[in-house]
A and B are shown apart, each in its own frame.
Chain A
Amino acid sequence: MERSSTKLQPYRNAKRLNVIRYIFALLISFLYFSKSLALIEVDITRGNLDPLPIAVSPLHVDIKSEGYKDLKIKNLGDNIASIIEKNFKNTGLFNPLKKDAFVQKPDIAHLKPRFEDWRLIKAQALVTGKILIKDNKLKVEFRLWDLTAAQEMTALAFTTTPSNWRRVAHIISDKIYERLTGEEGYFDTRIIYVAESGPKNQRIKKLAIMDQDGSNTKYLTLGNELVLTPRFNPTNQMVTYMSYFRNMPRVYLLDIETGTQEVVGNFPGMTFAPRFSPDGKKIIMSFAKDGNSDIYTMDLDSRIVERITEHSSIDTSPSFSPDGKFIAFNSDRSGLQQIYVMRSDGGNVKRITFGKGIYGTPVWSPRGDLIAFTKMHKGRFYIGVMRTDGTGERLLTENYYQEAPSWSPNGRVLVFYRETKAGDRGEGFSAKLWSIDITGYNERRLSTKTDASDPSWSSLLSK
């Protein structure tokens, strides 16, 4: 996306705004220090939070705007505001207020809100904005107001092609989230996943990609062969995944823009469970030989293959730490599936899970502080997080079947997939994407056009 940002002239001295920051600091520290919760407790305490009331005024459409293709400019201000509202609502941290209560017209509010009027409807923050389409360019500006302190908190303007209007809404959402929480947002992102259809024992699987909010779904494969476990590279242009093309299960590399794809490496057997290294230069994966799976890396430039583990047990699901120094992986060398951490050269292997049950799919947080995992215990499946030495295990959600967590780029939210029980002929079976905050709150289903599994969250697209 082509875009230029300039700071708007601030309406007044944009001082640091303390009330909202203070509320969020409180909120966040409360979330972080709240104890680890099993699902039942989560259910009870969920909704105890006090989401911040925020008013998102429809963006004012400048009357000088010109037509652009089939874009309905009249509705664009409303549509952008709706996307921002939906993003906020989905975080569970904000409560976007209903528009019928709004007290000022969008253009006037954007110039200078009457703070006391907005406070009357119990809003604590207000988002206003203006859009103009001219010479086939979309110019957007927005302001975030602290209503309690009666001040502008942040303001930004940028220009892009009008067809990018949805991304504009997500970028604005990110900027506001960032300003209010002090953390990076995750709205201008995509999720790649496996779209599923057909009966359970004859599933058709395709690679699919969508915006984080479920719009703009595109299919990247046709469904002729089984595809599994797609994962983004750090710049989100490449995807590594597993395919049964020609009935040879191998790890592939796909360029999303050009559509070109190739087999990764020249292995004489199944390769699977691929992921990129944090610098994007290597793919780490499992290679199965004579029934034994070990972990390998391949450098994408030099094509040099390195063997990382050498053990007669199953070693799979490798995931690099964000600094590239360590690898978390899944092994049954102790008898059953457990999570291990080793140096990225394969040295100093340490088992980190000792809790009840068995553990799989370790994924290192982009912040580096936590490892997300799937736990299986007494026929139930859990998504959880633990510190990278295995201490501080917290189970976030329990269900009949769920696995494969993937982190939001800011390390606050996990997306995973969940399957339901099937009846005699497979009826009642479904696979859906869900997300949950690492606090254990705000569990929700992501909308997908079809059944879905194996999600992988991109990094911020406009970083």
Chain B
Amino acid sequence: MILNKNLKNVLLVIFTTLVLSACSTAKKSADIEGDVYTGKETVEYLASGVPDRVFFATNKSSLTTASRATLRKQATFLRKNKNLNVTIEGHADERGTREYNLALGERRANAARDYLMTYGISGKRISVISYGKEKPVNPKSSPLSWSQNRRSVTVKVN
């Protein structure tokens, strides 16, 4: 009897845990997909419908399908505004060594630059700068803010 009661309690705990964790992963997956931020919270716009930034997975500089779509919009925008030059800022999250993150930010900014160039934007119009982990957009120490900080941001310079 007592054993049964205990078992029941255990099952209840397991069940609650499952429900709770299901909730938290459900919430997470709305904003992070495979370690890459997919939300809009920190995003600004170069023009209506043209997001200024793309996001990366931890230690990675490869562009996701969503990132490529964003960059194609940026390329279209830049083709329409021929006199506009941009700087692409590369950033990393705080969970890496400072020097490596400087290099990583540089690599991310260049990944975005290269993609814009394949869509016909002259490299002369695009400068890059890496800030490594020095300029987080979200100061919180959490997986969500880290994913928002792993980014490259296209900034108008004129």
Contacts and interface: CB of A to CB of B under 8 A. Distances in A.
A226 interface: yes
Interface string B73-100: 0000000000000000000001111111
B139 interface: yes
A245 interface: no
A314 B104 contact: yes
Contact of A228 (B98, B103, B110, B129): B98
A216 interface: no
Interface stretch (A9-17, A174-182, A285-293, A320-328): A285-293
Looking at B94, B97, B109, B140, the one whose CB has the most chain A CB atoms below 10 A away is: B97
Interface stretch (A47-55, A385-393, A421-429): A421-429
Contacts, number: 102
A134 interface: no
A414 interface: no
Contact of B94 (A273, A288, A401, A423): A401
Interface stretch (A63-71, A162-170, A198-206): A198-206
B67 interface: no
A423 B140 contact: yes
Interface in A34-55: none
Given A226-B134, A422-B141, A288 B99 contact: no
B38 interface: no
A270 interface: yes
Nearest to A361: B97
Contacts of A429: 139, 141
A452 interface: no
A454 B98 contact: yes
Looking at A229, A272, A288, A292, the one whose CB has the most chain B CB atoms below 10 A away is: A288
B109 A249 contact: no
Contacts of B36: none
Contacts of A330: 97, 99-100
Interface in A379-404: 379, 401, 403-404
A361 B96 CA distance: 10
Contacts of A406: none
Interface string B111-136: 10110000000000000111000111
B137 interface: yes
A200 B97 CA distance: 17
A337 interface: yes
A439 interface: no
A15 to B, nearest CB: 50
Contacts of B110: 290-291
B150 to A, nearest CB: 15
B53 interface: no
Interface in A254-289: 270, 272-273, 286, 288
B102 interface: yes
A422 B133 CA distance: 14
B155 to A, nearest CB: 11
B130 A401 contact: no
A293 B141 contact: no
A91 interface: no
B147 interface: no
B94 A403 contact: no
A317 interface: yes
Given A291-B107, A337-B96, 12 more contacts: A270-B102, A273-B99, A288-B130, A314-B100, A330-B99, A330-B100, A360-B99, A361-B99, A374-B97, A404-B97, A422-B139, A453-B98
12 contacts: A200-B136, A228-B98, A228-B134, A272-B102, A286-B99, A288-B102, A291-B111, A316-B100, A337-B59, A337-B97, A401-B95, A426-B140
Q: List the 8 shortest-distance A-B pairs measured between CB atoms, nearest first.
A: A291-B110, A426-B139, A360-B97, A200-B139, A293-B103, A273-B99, A421-B141, A314-B103
Interface of A: 199-201, 203, 226, 228-229, 247, 249, 270, 272-273, 286, 288, 290-293, 314, 316-317, 330, 332, 336-337, 360-361, 374, 376, 379, 401, 403-404, 419, 421-426, 429, 453-454
